[in-house]
Structure 1
């Protein structure tokens, strides 16, 4: 059975993001109290979650926190309203700030590490519409990061990373194209815009590529006023950048409210979404590629009545290995958006 448990994060203000490490054994949270807290499992017959680190490293609200692949050690990156991105590494007994990236002139709104096969690379995006890509040339010296690329998307954005999807949280619904896709060109060694998803006209709160396990196409999930899943099929691989046919695989308004987070499991077979309805909803495709809701978790972790009993098994296997178990902070998310707008 799936058992829900409340965790006292001990933050003094709104919590904006929750991120699990690769193995799902540690959880990092960040808040408007300018702090990052890391919790981990202790096992004494039962699993117990305890807070084992506090890192007050920013002078403004901390929007996002993310983990690097464990191949590079225990490394965390965070971004803040104070216009910086910080990289932290765990020492023998506590977390140490290794570097501060200060290239942005406005609030840094999102930060993501690249897949491990690309090396230790970090992507940030900021409210000025600029996506920046950094690389640590020496993984043993995390105090040195080089700025590799700057991409001006002309959007107030949030991102992901070798193709990069950029989503705008601009609430102006008079124009489409709130999602843009950029692709790296090996010849020019620059990123160029490959596609614009014109059908997305509402503010984008989160965006996530599904892990690509050898597919000839890409799958992209978008959190806006609803949940949308797109299929990006390359039309001409010889062109630079590649052109894509954008197909809508699924669109769900079951949250009946704004959707704030979307996250895939490690095998890209399950998508989790969370919204202002106080629920986490799980979506899965059948063999006909028809997407359906396979389960609903309420904010207190209990199953919504009438939902499949197999939900606990799904959570225990695939979803627990990824960031699918996002904690819901309905009030926090609403106030967070008003903060960004000021």
Structure 2
């Protein structure tokens, strides 16, 4: 049985995101007060704030943990149009903070010209990669070439979703049967906006060098599904642990579940209201627009990777 516990977070403004680490023993929160707080769970089950610092010059929308294999690493994104990577370090012997841990900024990613609305680390098997999305509809994927040097990140992929982006989610599956996938949700409020949820896939094996000498690397990222069933702004997308089902939630008060059939056509397999009750007729197939491969041609985005460090 779940028991609700409240925590006096002590943020000075709205809290926008809460994120647990891999083991569920640490938690990070972020707020419009421009700060991030880190919480550690005691043996008694109580949460204690162990770090708090100003991270951005605007509201902080999201905070997320990297896999612990890469150390204690956080990423945050903000209305100030940047994303930042933070690392927890222990003070050196000649440091005033000897034996104490504190968080330091390793890099600031400044490619976006609008508010950066979400940030997520890729699954561990993909290496130390980070995806961001922004209000201008651009998804950017960065990679740290050297996991021991988090101050150097290179922009690997950049793709336009053609709608304002609100959220992203990496597919956690490490199966070789399918290329890596990332889902993107849109908060575009215009009535004519379609495809509020999109799924992209890419495969590193499709990397092709441009013929021009010294030119950037060209990637092909394919849209495998896009849906407009919410008919409203979509605020969160999330995969199940096996990467076979995608959940999306929106202003229509519903959570919709999406799954691919044996032909890799994505369909809505269930709809839940905000109170958890099923919606009448939720067993019907959703209007996956398109269920690519049947009614519409493959959509591909030609991407120019950048080898420059950010």
Q: TM-score, length-normalised on structure 2?
A: 0.75
Q: Determine the structure 2 residue equivalent to 1:271.
A: none
**Which of 199, 216, 223 in structure 1 is aligned with 2:249?**
223
User: 2 CA distance for matches of 1:63 and 1:233?
Assistant: 34
Deviations 1:210-239 (A, max 9, x none): 2227xxxx311000121110112352xxxx
Deviations 1:42-82 (A, max 9, x none): 23xx2221101012120000000000011111100000000
User: 1 CA distance for matches of 2:88 and 2:255?
Assistant: 36
Alignment of 1:8-47 (within 5 A): 8-43=8-43, 46-47=44-45
If you compute each CA radius of gyration, which structure gives the higher value, 1 or 2?
A: 2
Give RMSD over aligned pairs.
Answer: 1.8
Q: Determine the structure 1 residue equivalent to 2:206.
A: 187
Q: Determine the structure 2 residue equivalent to 1:160.
A: 169
- Ranges in structure 1 where 5+ consecutive residues have no aligned partner: 236-243, 256-280, 284-289, 291-342
- Against the structure 1 CA distance between its residues 107 and 254, is the aligned structure 2 distance closer, same or farther, given a 3 Å change threshold? closer
Deviations 1:21-43 (A, max 9, x none): 11111110000000000010123
Q: Determine the structure 2 residue equivalent to 1:249.
A: 269
Secondary structure of 1:117's counterpart equals helix
CA contact (8 A) 1:13 1:31 kept: yes
Q: Determine the structure 2 residue equivalent to 1:87.
A: 85
Q: Determine the structure 1 residue equivalent to 2:230.
A: 200
User: 2 CA distance for matches of 1:282 and 1:251?
Assistant: 9
Aligned length: 245
Q: Determine the structure 2 residue equivalent to 1:232.
A: 260
- Against the structure 1 CA distance between its residues 282 and 97, is the aligned structure 2 distance closer, same or farther, given a 3 Å change threshold? farther
Q: Determine the structure 2 residue equivalent to 1:313.
A: none
Deviations 1:296-342 (A, max 9, x none): xxxxxxxxxxxxxxxxxxxxxxxxxxxxxxxxxxxxxxxxxxxxxxx
Q: Determine the structure 2 residue equivalent to 1:77.
A: 75
- Against the structure 1 CA distance between its residues 81 and 282, is the aligned structure 2 distance closer, same or farther, given a 3 Å change threshold? farther
Q: Determine the structure 1 residue equivalent to 2:112.
A: 104
**Which of 183, 205, 212 in structure 1 is aligned with 2:242?**
212
User: 1 CA distance for matches of 2:162 and 2:193?
Assistant: 13
Q: CA deviation at 1:10?
A: 1.1
- Against the structure 1 CA distance between its residues 82 and 254, is the aligned structure 2 distance closer, same or farther, given a 3 Å change threshold? closer
CA contact (8 A) 1:197 1:246 kept: no
Q: CA deviation at 1:129?
A: 0.3
User: 2 CA distance for matches of 1:254 and 1:36?
Assistant: 28
Q: Determine the structure 1 residue equivalent to 2:302.
A: none
CA contact (8 A) 2:195 2:228 kept: yes
Secondary structure of 2:69's counterpart equals helix
Higher mean Cα deviation, 196-205 or 67-76? Answer: 196-205
Secondary structure of 2:50's counterpart equals strand
- Against the structure 1 CA distance between its residues 163 and 33, is the aligned structure 2 distance closer, same or farther, given a 3 Å change threshold? same
- Ranges in structure 2 where 5+ consecutive residues have no aligned partner: 91-100, 171-179, 208-218, 284-310
Q: CA deviation at 1:254?
A: 4.2
Structure with bigger helix share is 1
